[in-house]
Amino acid sequence: MADVTPSPSYLPTNESTVYDFLREFGLPAGLLPNTATSFFYYKNASFEVNLAGKCYVNFEYLVYYEPKITGLICYGVIAGLKGIQVRNYLLWFNVDAVKIDLQPSDYIFFDVGLVTKKLKVEQFETVHSCRNNGLADIMELSGEEGSYMANSSRSSIGLFVLT
């Protein structure tokens, strides 16, 4: 049987960054925070990114990054994603996949369980600073125009609604 492993044109070098890696696969560099210390890409299309530690970044939703992020990547898609969670209201959900339409695209899609959330890609175009104690000082976006409420713990429970 023929090997059907994707063969991307990206071959990391010592000078390559994980942000270059994402761009080469048609994904915005800002999907990951600025604390990436190393990354590995394997012939079976799997990858591993190591961060300096746990991390929170506030996009339209609060995102938590574990120190190790893994998945499978091909052009415009990350599947089997492990190590990234998103908070909506008081619940945390695993981000399972990330997809972007062919370039140029205004939207990026996140698979969170059985739900797919469409967000503006512009908020992921720049690499964001990481906060290692995010919930002490990061505010949760609630409401349509952006009223904010303080958060205090990653283990809260509540209602999750994706529109």
CATH hierarchy code of domain 18-150:
2.30.240
Burial of 28 (0-12, 13-18, 19+ CB in 10 A): buried
User: Where is pLDDT greater, at 8 or 95?
Assistant: 95
Range with the lowest mean pLDDT among 29-43, 66-80, 96-110, 138-152?
Answer: 138-152
Q: Is the pLDDT of residue 130 over 50?
A: yes
Q: Is the pLDDT of residue 41 over 80?
A: yes
The ranges assigned to domains in the chain are 18-150
Find out whether 41 and 49 touch, Cβ atoms under 8 Å.
Answer: no
Distance CA 81, CA 48 (A): 10
Please state the length of the chain. Answer: 163
Average pLDDT, the chain: 79
Backbone angles phi, psi at 64, to 5 degrees: -110, 130
Q: Tell me the pLDDT band of 110, cut-offs 50, 70 and 90.
A: very high
* Global confidence as pTM: 0.74
Find out whether 113 and 96 touch, Cβ atoms under 8 Å.
Answer: yes
What pLDDT is attached to residue 32? 97
User: Where is pLDDT greater, at 6 or 59?
Assistant: 59
